Amino acid sequence: MKRYLVIVDGRVQGVGFRFFCVRHAQLRGVTGSVRNLDNGMVEIFVQGNEENINLFLMDIQKGDKFIRVDDMSVKKLNVVDNEREFTYKW
């Protein structure tokens, strides 16, 4: 089990990116949260097994016709016990 803080830059606000993250997190079986930052970037906390996290990160990096990820920074964190879902925050 691993946990990461991911900061995403690009066209990631106002294009359904948080919903996109929640949907792909559910598909990949990872937990955590996603929220917009005041600087136009998006903050993601993601937790799960390494393979599923990597698949999730590849999904969001690809984006879709509206979402464009220009840069992602990833920092390892301590695992949060008993986290059960992936949510988006306002």
Closest CA to 64 of 5, 10, 6, 7: 10
Give me the pLDDT at residue 16, please: 95
Can 23 be counted among the known catalytic residues?
no
Can 18 be counted among the known catalytic residues?
yes
Q: Which fold has domain 2-71+80-89?
A: Alpha-Beta Plaits (3.30.70)
Q: Which residues contact 16 (CB under 8 A, 6 or more apart)?
A: 66, 67
Question: So where are the chain's domains?
Answer: 2-71+80-89
Active-site annotation holder among 18, 49, 52, 54: 18
Active-site annotation holder among 11, 28, 35, 36: 36
pLDDT (tens digit, 9 = 90+) per residue, 50-83?
999 999 999 999 999 999 999 999 999 999 999 9
* Secondary structure class of 18 (helix, strand, coil): helix
